Amino acid sequence: MSAEKRPSAARPFTPIQLKRRTPVPSDIEIAQESDIKPISDVAAELGLLPEEIEFFGPYKAKVKLEVLNRLADVPDGKYIDVTAITPTPLGEGKTTTTVGLSQALGAHLGYKVITAIRQPSQGPTFGIKGGAAGGGYSQVIPMEDFNLHLTGDIHAITAAHNLVAAAIDVRMLHESQATDEQMFERLMPKNKHGKRSFGRGLVGRLKRLGIDKTDPDDLTPEERRKLCRLDIDPATITWRRVLDTSDRFLRGVTVGRGPNETGHERETGFDITVASEIMAVLALTTGLADMRERFGKIVIGLDKAGNAVSCDDLGVAGAMTVLMRDAIKPNLMQTLEGTPVFVHAGPFANIAHGNSSILADKIGLKLADFVVTESGFGADMGMEKFFDIKCRYSGLVPNVVVLVATVRALKMHGGGPKVVAGKPLDTAYIQENLELLRAGMPNLLHHIQSARKFGIPVVVAVNSFATDTEAELELIRKMSIEEGGAVDAVVSRHWEFGGQGAVDLAKAVVKASELPSQFQFLYPLEWPIKQKIETIAREIYGADGVDYSELAEQRIEEYTRLGFDKLPMCMAKTHLSLSHDATLKGVPKGFRIPIRDVRASVGAGFIYPLLGEMSTMPGLPTRPAFYDVDLDLETGRVTGLF
């Protein structure tokens, strides 16, 4: 690829030299020992202008969206999506591979590269999984900032989401205690000159009701009633509250227990913030105006006549946009070798669409030869949603899928002992066992075929561990190409060696990016909801069919009546199996997918069916990761993150 297509940088790229040690220290030790560039240098090397960034301390910044206007005529770089096979509960190093590949492309092969990944949730950071900055010598730094707060985007989402929740309950309370005329007087009070006006928060509802009058006093009694009385049916409310902590005791709560709210109690609950529709909107929006429009379209429930009630109806969409006006800007950080990273949005891939933002990718593709982004969990989860949801809204066409596999995970799929986070691995995973490995290979081959159904070349990245043998690694390589149809399969040792350990992988990706491809979606949006659900279940999961609960049937009928049936599907299921059942490993056969509920994220622009017993609020284990996290009071450094 010709680097001349990219905008000129204020200064040439200078890699950071790794301070490698053997054995490899903990992630946080590596991160804190590393040299680090001022973020102003990272921005300058990337070709960003000083007026296009906003600093958050010396090592992180936000990038203003105006850069897209300046670079509108610049051709896009190559677009790489990193995904994985069905993982163990330990994860298979997908983020580490994403970072290592980027370091190899930028610090060793001389390409201009941007890594585009999600911001981690506090839930898993303090729970089981730990942080999400990568690992070993392929990490994003500062690691502590990356995993803790960053620039406050998740907090902004929490604030905006809970503002909507408060608006719903207080609107029902006030409507129950006032006449139509009283509601009219309160929503459109006279000013000191005796004149009324429609507040900005009423504009959306006026438009939806088809009322084009400009003076509130000209409204008929019927128009006043329609404008001022939402008449929300409490039984239909789907908008819960959110918190960015894994707190299982908030999965179900009763609100309205205060002395002044007697008689208005209702059952609701909390989701984790990264499952919020506002997070999904942040990841899928293409600009500030688009975000405002999407917020207005968010449906929180139905009125008693069966009509959808939106955030525009509540009059809260403008305030949501104000709370999110800074969060829409991608965050700029760097890898251990000084290559630039965009960190933006953080939707889970099992209960949301699991991809970082369209805006970060769009900006990155104008600035870099390669944008390496990552889809959450396995190819059946984040990758399918990357293609069928994210790419639909972005209009971007990916060039290569990098599919991460490990010997460990494939042995588990071959029938190996249960893998449990926090417990030592069984000897089956650390001793050569080609028979067990071969038995697990169908899971990898299935994921390769799933990616190929979208018409994109696949490169398998075998994330190598110290206990893997050459025979095991070669078996994966050979079967991936000969039986799976991958264009290449490369062993990568980026965790131990950084970008140097991923140079062969990077060369394979560059070569694959020049191959012709025929990208296509799995289904057209015009299909009915059920047909889209069943196509994903059959083609990606390998299910025999789909069974719908009575509630799911009702919701599908309801959403079809309301005109939401032309949206893409965002399947919420376990990431630990191709099926809905986390205990079914490998490539399960003879199963049917149960759909217990179907919900609509109209603002984000998708329908999300809930497969089996999916929880939108994780819980903490007996020994959470926060047991190890503390502050060194002498140095001020964070300890215990991983």
Q: How confident is the model at residue 1 (pLDDT cuts 50, 70, 90)?
A: very low
Residue 2's pLDDT is: 42
Active-site residue 96, yes or no? yes
Amino acid 172 reads M
Structure tokens at 447: 């994921």
Residue 4 scores a pLDDT above 50: no
Query: Hey, is 315 helix, strand or coil?
Result: coil
DSSP 209-259: HT---S-GGG--HHHHHHHH---B-GGG----EEESS--GGGSSEEE--SG
Asked if 77 and 47 touch (Cβ cutoff 8 Å), the reply is no
Percent of the chain clearing pLDDT 70 (strictly above): 99
Residue 5's pLDDT is: 59
Q: Could you read off the pLDDT of 451-478 as tens digits, one per residue? A: 999 999 999 999 999 999 999 999 999 9
Catalytic residue selected from 86, 88, 95, 96: 96
Q: What is the mean pLDDT of residues 219-240?
A: 95
Q: Could you read off the pLDDT of 241-288 as tens digits, one per residue? A: 999 998 899 999 999 999 999 999 999 999 999 999 999 999 999 999
Catalytic residue selected from 184, 465, 497, 606: 465
Please state the pTM of the whole predicted model: 0.94
Residue 617 scores a pLDDT above 90: no
Active-site residue 439, yes or no? no
Distance CA 243, CA 388 (A): 28
Catalytic residue selected from 377, 387, 564, 591: 377
φ, ψ dihedrals at 138, nearest 5°:
-130, 85
Catalytic residue selected from 239, 270, 495, 591: 495
Q: Could you read off the pLDDT of 399-441 as tens digits, one per residue? A: 999 999 999 999 999 999 999 877 889 999 999 999 999 999 9
Residue 634's pLDDT is: 84
Residue 556 scores a pLDDT above 60: yes
Catalytic residue selected from 349, 368, 409, 625: 349
Catalytic residue selected from 62, 64, 78, 94: 94
Q: What is the mean pLDDT of residues 482-498?
A: 97
Distance CA 573, CA 578 (A): 9
Active-site residue 349, yes or no? yes
Residue 7 scores a pLDDT above 80: no
H/E stretch holding 172 = helix 153-176
Q: Could you read off the pLDDT of 129-139 as tens digits, one per residue? A: 677 789 999 99
What lies within 8 Å, CB to CB, of 551 at 6+ separation is 596, 597
Pick from 233, 358, 290, 162: nearest CA to 603: 290
φ, ψ dihedrals at 619, nearest 5°:
-115, 165
Residue 486's pLDDT is: 98
Catalytic residue selected from 129, 297, 477, 573: 129
Q: Could you read off the pLDDT of 9-21 as tens digits, one per residue? A: 778 999 999 999 9
Q: How confident is the model at residue 3 (pLDDT cuts 50, 70, 90)?
A: very low
Residue 513's pLDDT is: 98
DSSP 346-397: ---SSSS--B--HHHHHHHHHH-SEEEEEBSSSIIIIIHHIIIIIHHHH---
Structure tokens at 390: 């994210």
DSSP 493-541: -HHHHGGGGGHHHHHHHHHHHTS------SS-TTS-HHHHHHHHIIIII
Residue 403's pLDDT is: 98
In the numeric block, the tokens 């070569």 are attached to 511
Q: Could you read off the pLDDT of 110-123 as tens digits, one per residue? A: 999 999 999 998 87
Active-site residue 118, yes or no? yes
Q: Could you read off the pLDDT of 168-227 as tens digits, one per residue? A: 999 999 999 999 999 999 999 999 999 999 988 899 999 999 999 999 999 999 999 999
Q: Which residue has the higher pLDDT, 320 or 637?
A: 320
Catalytic residue selected from 62, 118, 240, 297: 118
Please give the biggest Cα pair distance in the chain: 86
Structure tokens at 108: 């060793």
Active-site residue 94, yes or no? yes
Q: Could you read off the pLDDT of 361-407 as tens digits, one per residue? A: 999 999 999 999 999 999 999 999 999 999 999 999 999 999 999 99
Which segment of 88-97, 122-131, 312-321, 402-411 scores lowest on mean pLDDT?
Answer: 122-131
Q: Could you read off the pLDDT of 531-554 as tens digits, one per residue? A: 999 999 999 999 999 999 999 999
Q: How confident is the model at residue 487 (pLDDT cuts 50, 70, 90)?
A: very high
Distance CA 404, CA 120 (A): 20
Q: How confident is the model at residue 127 (pLDDT cuts 50, 70, 90)?
A: confident
Active-site residue 84, yes or no? no
Residue 624's pLDDT is: 77
